[in-house]
Amino acid sequence: MEVLRIATSGSVDDGKSTLIGRLLYDTNSIPQDKMEALHAASKRKGLDFTDLSLLTDGLVAEREQGITIDVAHIYFSTPTRKYIIADTPGHIEYTRNMVTGASNAQVSLILIDARKGIVEQTHRHFFIANLLRIPYLVVCVNKMDLVDYSEARFNQIVEDFQVMLDNASFKGQEVKFIPISSLYGENVASRNGTISWYQGDTLLEYLEQVSFDHEDNQHPARFPIQSVIRPRTTEYHDFRGFAGKVVSGHFNVGDEVVSLPSGQKSKIKTIEQFEKQLTVAHARESVVITLEDEIDSSRGNMLVKTTEVPQQLKEVSANICWMDQQKLTNGKTYLLQHGVNRVKAKVQQIQYITDVTNHLQKADKTEMGLNDIGKVSIKTAAPIFADAYQNNPANGAFILIDEFNNTTVAVGFID
Amino acid sequence: MTNQINWEFPQALEDEAIYILRETVAQFEKPVLLFSGGKDSITLVRLAQKAFYPGKIPFSLLHVDTGHNFPETIAFRDWLVNTLGLDIIVRNVQDSIDQGKVQEETGKYASRNALQTVTLLDAIEEGKFDACIGGARRDEEKARAKERIFSVRDEFGQWNAKMQRPELFDILNGKINIGENVRVFPISNWTELDVWNYIVREKLEIPSIYFSHEREIIERDGLYWPYSSFLNTTADEVPFRQKVRFRTVGDMTCTAAVLSEADKLEDIIAEIMEAKISERGARIDDKRSEAAMEKRKQAGYF
């Protein structure tokens, strides 16, 4: 059974949580006791309808303010697939949480209030979805009931959105526009017939048929080593296996591989998944690989095919999103974590900060603040074995960690 | 829509959980697996077995025994530990009570559920565990839906929901300050049904109380409570025998039974798919208020 990961984003009050509530409700994913709790909570708030957003706003502070602060993960299944929704905040000050939610998504769901059209948050959300190269974009034009289900209004918003698409740096996204009313459930999981001029898929129909491009499998093979398994028991006295997850591409038994950074070569002897012996390991599979020869490899090293060796970078140019209250300053050192590999790193220069609403780049900046997105040059103390994010996203991202308080302060996408 | 059974377990979830367990062992000095004897922690044990095979599971289990467990759960725990040759540490809530660190609740709703947090935090401190692996799932409850996979807790075990570290892609940052520890949730993205399908696929043994059996129960607040010496009952609450099973395994004082004839895994799954009540709907500890879980998490509960 396949898992489809969706990130939702929208700005305040455009009905994002209601939309998700509607999806769950219409797929019978809300158990009776939760539904009753929802009715009761809505009543207490003095509402005369059942507020489906109370389902996803899990924190007291969120329910008090009626906004989403942090990413909530929501699950539902159809007979076709399992869905994981990362419901992310729309508020500008929680942009970092939005990036967090979007980082694992295959589909980005952008909500637009039909009355307001494209607003600043729409630009921000689209910019991030585009920066992360999320393959599918669904633009839901919501609250159609409040604009008399006007086709002209819908077409105007599609046209405005098209301008944004034309200016985007990554053109490979598949974009789908759907007019909906999450309050009445129109075009979410079913049709009520109020939008007769729209003949296309409902949101759920669209999600059900989004094809999984197993692109990660086509990319060069990368196997970062998480740990070395050496049981040293009588039965497995000489066993030495490399445990890890194939991040991209695939490996076959017999493949010639090289271990980075040592450069030592060998051949894959076995690929194991618990008691099973495999002949091939695909992208995202957690396996143990044993080699024909004893070579020097440990955590943080990477096995790759001799025919597809990645760049070994000590100077990195990358787009980063800054996620910490404390500003980034030129020349400060951090820990850079690329996959499971951690190295010291120094931000040498902030090349520019991008205004995500109009794509303008502002140079001559010496610091970057919370939620800023921009281009930086980083120097690392040891090489990382990375691909450009645009060529192989699974091996092209990293985080920066503050050495003093250990928190994650930025995410980066390598040029 | 959900009534159609899809038996296939999403393999991506196992690969993700194994990756998380391997990161935990690599990034922390002394991880421990919090074991309750329930299906979720049994699933974690299986995943740990797979993650480090053919090596042994490189950490102990920790069981906080409230003293109010189902005897079937304790028997199962001992059987599992023996069969797989695991290390287990057991700490008792009774000891915390005897030490005067916590006070037994009174009244007919008295339970030791909240008390176990103190015993757990003491055990973490004593064992110097920097990572506690738990079987919590995001689909269980709306505060849990907000939690990270590596969830940092302060010295007092507290969860700060507003200050969570961003978690990006599959990159896990396990760096912590002295005194802090991390709760690790490898099956965050699994649903109740995923766990059951996994138990079927892996042919895992589970405690007998998950299957239909006859037992003495009382009816209170529309729920069926298992009758035991731990439960404070009123005069009009008369126990009667009924065929029931349990959907989750907690204390005998805070886990309600469901009427059920399901005595095979297949029947249990079919029943869950039909069920109108959520899994934690039978957890009396969650019913105390809308924010019951969030409040307990802030205090260091799992």
For tokens 């998504």, the residue is: A105
What predicted TM-score, i.e. pTM, was given to this entire model? 0.92
Determine the distance in angstroms separating the CA of A30 from the nearest CA of chain B, rounded to an integer. 8
Which two tokens mark A307?
């025919």
Residues of chain A in contact with residue B169, where contact means CB-CB under 8 angstroms, are: 103-104, 394, 397, 411
Tell me, what's the pLDDT at A62? Answer: 58
Enter the DSSP assignment of B274. Answer: H
Q: What is the pLDDT of residues B200-220, one digit of tens each?
A: 999 999 999 999 999 999 999
Comparing A36-40, A236-240, A382-386, B291-295, which segment has the lowest mean pLDDT?
Answer: B291-295
Indicate the burial class of B93 (C-beta count within 10 angstroms; 0-12, 13-18, 19 or more).
Answer: buried
Confidence at B292, pLDDT banded by 50, 70, 90:
low
Nearest one of B77, B144, B119 to B280, comparing CA atoms: B144
Is the separation of the CB atoms in B176 and B124 below 8 Å? no
> In chain A, which segments carry CATH 3.40.50.300?
3-212
Query: What is the topology classification, in CATH, of domain A216-305?
Result: Elongation Factor Tu (Ef-tu); domain 3 (2.40.30)
- What would the mean pLDDT of A261-283 be, rounded to a whole number? 97
**Strand boundaries in B118-277, DSSP class E:** 131-133, 150-153, 181-184, 213-220, 223-226, 240-246, 257-259
> In chain A, which segments carry CATH 2.40.30.10?
216-305, 311-414
Does residue B170 belong to the interface with chain A, where contact is any CB pair within 8 Å? yes
Does residue B18 belong to the interface with chain A, where contact is any CB pair within 8 Å? yes
Is the separation of the CB atoms in A283 and A394 below 8 Å? yes
Report the residue count for chain B. Answer: 302
User: Which DSSP helix (H) or strand (E) runs through B92?
Assistant: strand B88-92
Which two tokens mark B165?
């570290």
Q: B294–A60: do the CB atoms touch at under 8 Å?
A: yes
Residues of chain A in contact with residue B171, where contact means CB-CB under 8 angstroms, are: 337-339, 397-399
Rounded-to-integer distance, Cα B56 and Cα A393, Å: 34
Chain B window 106-135: which residues touch A at a Cβ cutoff of 8 Å? none
Helix spans in A142-185 (H): 151-167
- Top mean pLDDT of A19-28, A292-301, B5-14, B142-151 is at A292-301
All domains of chain B in start order, with CATH: 10-201+288-297 (3.40.50.620), 208-285 (no CATH)
Question: Considering only alpha carbons, which residue of chain B is nearest residue A342?
Answer: B173
Determine the distance in angstroms separating the CA of A153 from the nearest CA of chain B, rounded to an integer. 33
Question: Considering only alpha carbons, which residue of chain A is nearest residue B272?
Answer: A31
Is the separation of the CB atoms in A222 and A338 below 8 Å? no
> Which residues fall within 8 angstroms of residue A264, CB to CB, at 6 or more apart?
A258, A293, A295, A296, A297
Rounded-to-integer distance, Cα A81 and Cα A77, Å: 6
Q: Is the pLDDT of residue B286 over 60?
A: no
Q: Is the pLDDT of residue B1 over 50?
A: no
DSSP assignment of B157-218 equals: ----GGGPPP-BTTB------TT-EEEE-TTTT--HHHHHHHHHHHT----GGGS-EEEEEE
Give the CATH H-level superfamily of domain A311-414: Translation factors (2.40.30.10)
CATH 1.20.120.1200 fits A3-212, yes or no: no
Whether the ω angle into residue B226 lies within 30 degrees of 0, i.e. cis, is no
Testing the interface with A: which of B84, B169, B177, B178 to mutate, by most A Cβ within 10 A? B169
Confidence at B3, pLDDT banded by 50, 70, 90:
very low
Q: A229–B139: do the CB atoms touch at under 8 Å?
A: no
